[in-house]
């Protein structure tokens, strides 16, 4: 194959998990490339302030991305742009990673493709994406200065990004399907104490409406009383869950019935020399600190695996 590039380790995804795995593998003197379909940093680029990463009282997600990328390349890992379409396991010693911009051969592969936001699946959502509907407050919040916005969801991301939006928007209404938040207590407290944030409980969004150009209001229903209503917003930020980015690996037999990759405590999948780290794994806590923990383990495990073949 003419353009088959060869490395000891190919890391798929350059979020915090992939960058840490690449750092550890490169520091073990392995040749390493990180492949990403976008800019390095992953979900950290969509995060305003990170306040739970050790060593920082508070750090902007994109700034943390830059710092991690700098230490990863300093350790000797390379970065290449490309969407991974499939992984071919030729033998225990040889894997081929197929991308839309060429193929990469590796002895070990570390999958770090993370997850993406689930859509609400209501009428108007696709139509008004980028015209009032967003899944990223840090990317799009500035468009809603002094306007009224809604946040849909009650978990960490919803509450955290609601607090961020309250610095920009005139008001933030957090619409929650149940009668309680699932976010960490510290975030709940901060949101409840913010005068610009209010909550609507036991409520689902049924439809998002607009004037052809942008969002103007949402149709809601109270899940207990079945009472319906129309609430005016120019921005709607949706945080209702995650799904794994594992389309490229579905036929390898390493995912559970929801598509998350199953590993052991050493980040090993069922395939020798194929590891998975970060949010893409079947796990309980999807955070930057758990992603980098996974990454460090997998980088070391890749070294051990290659040393023994």
Ligand X SMILES: Cc1cc2nc3c(=O)[nH]c(=O)nc-3n(C[C@H](O)[C@H](O)[C@H](O)COP(=O)(O)OP(=O)(O)OC[C@H]3O[C@@H](n4cnc5c(N)ncnc54)[C@H](O)[C@@H]3O)c2cc1C
Torsion of CA 282, 283, 286, 287, to 10 degrees: -130
Instruction: List the beta bridge partners of residue 275.
Output: 110, 268
The answer to whether residues 68 and 42 touch, using CB atoms and an 8 Å cutoff, is: no
Comparing CB distances to ligand X, the nearer of 140 and 160 is 160
The answer to whether residues 245 and 276 touch, using CB atoms and an 8 Å cutoff, is: no
Strand residue runs (E) in 162-270: 171-175, 197-200, 203-210, 215-222, 228-232, 235-238, 242-244
**Phi and psi angles of residue 273, each rounded to the nearest 5 degrees, phi first:** 85, 5
What is the rounded distance in angstroms from the CA atom of residue 124 to the CA atom of residue 74?
46
The residue within the footprint of ligand X, chosen from 31, 73, 83, 202 (CB under 6 A), is 83
Q: Is 95 in the site for ligand X (CB under 6 A)?
A: no
Comparing CB distances to ligand X, the nearer of 115 and 173 is 115
Comparing CB distances to ligand X, the nearer of 140 and 217 is 140
- Is there a catalytic annotation at residue 136? yes
Q: Is 65 in the site for ligand X (CB under 6 A)?
A: no
Could you give the angle at the alpha carbon of 121 between the alpha carbons of 222 and 166, nearest 5°? 65
The residue within the footprint of ligand X, chosen from 7, 8, 11, 18 (CB under 6 A), is 18
Residue 248 gets which letter from DSSP? G
Catalytic residue among 8, 36, 103, 136: 136
Q: What is the size of the binding site for ligand X (CB under 6 A)? A: 38
Q: Is 160 in the site for ligand X (CB under 6 A)?
A: yes
Minimum gap (Å) between residue 242 Cβ and ligand X: 8
Binding mask 120-159 for ligand X (x = CB under 6 A): -------------------------------------x--
Q: Is 42 in the site for ligand X (CB under 6 A)?
A: yes
What is the rounded distance in angstroms from the CA atom of residue 142 to the CA atom of residue 139?
8
> Cα 98 to the chain's mean position, in Å?
22
Catalytic residue among 8, 36, 140, 156: 140
The answer to whether residues 21 and 302 touch, using CB atoms and an 8 Å cutoff, is: yes
Stretch that binds ligand X, among 24-32, 39-47, 175-183, 227-235 (CB under 6 A): 39-47
Q: What residues make contact with ligand X under the rule CB under 6 A?
A: 12-18, 35-38, 42-44, 46-47, 50, 52-53, 83-84, 112-115, 157, 160-161, 245, 248, 278-280, 286-289, 291
Instruction: Cite the active site residues.
Output: 136, 139-140
């Amino acid at each position: 194959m003419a353009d088959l590039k060869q490395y000891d380790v190919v890391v798929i995804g350059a979020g915090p998990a992939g960058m840490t795995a690449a750092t550890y593998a490169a520091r073990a003197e392995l040749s390493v490339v990180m492949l990403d379909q976008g800019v390095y940093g992953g979900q950290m680029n969509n995060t305003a302030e990170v306040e739970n990463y050790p060593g920082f009282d508070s750090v902007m997600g994109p700034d943390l991305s830059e710092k991690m990328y700098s230490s990863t390349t300093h350790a000797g890992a390379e970065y290449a742009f490309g969407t991974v379409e499939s992984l071919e396991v030729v033998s225990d010693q040889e894997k081929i990673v197929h991308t839309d911009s060429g193929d990469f051969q590796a002895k070990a592969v570390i999958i770090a493709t993370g997850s993406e936001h689930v859509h609400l699946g209501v009428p108007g959502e696709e139509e008004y994406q980028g015209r009032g509907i967003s899944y990223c407050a840090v990317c799009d919040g500035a468009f809603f200065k002094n306007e009224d916005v809604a946040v849909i969801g009650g978990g960490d991301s919803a509450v955290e990004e609601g607090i961020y939006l309250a610095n920009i928007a005139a008001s933030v209404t957090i619409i929650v399907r149940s009668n309680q938040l699932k976010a960490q207590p510290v975030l709940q407290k901060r949101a409840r104490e913010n005068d610009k944030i209010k909550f609507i409980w036991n409520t689902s969004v049924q439809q998002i409406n607009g004037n052809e150009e942008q969002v103007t209001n949402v149709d809601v229903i109270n899940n207990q009383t079945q009472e319906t209503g129309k609430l005016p917003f120019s921005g709607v930020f949706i945080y209702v869950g995650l799904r794994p980015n594992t389309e490229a690996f579905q036929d390898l037999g390493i995912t559970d019935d929801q598509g998350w990759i199953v590993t052991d405590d050493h980040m090993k999948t069922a395939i020798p020399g194929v590891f998975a780290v970060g949010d893409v794994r079947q796990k309980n806590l999807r955070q930057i600190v758990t992603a980098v923990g996974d990454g460090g383990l997998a980088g070391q495990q890749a070294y051990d695996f290659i040393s023994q073949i």
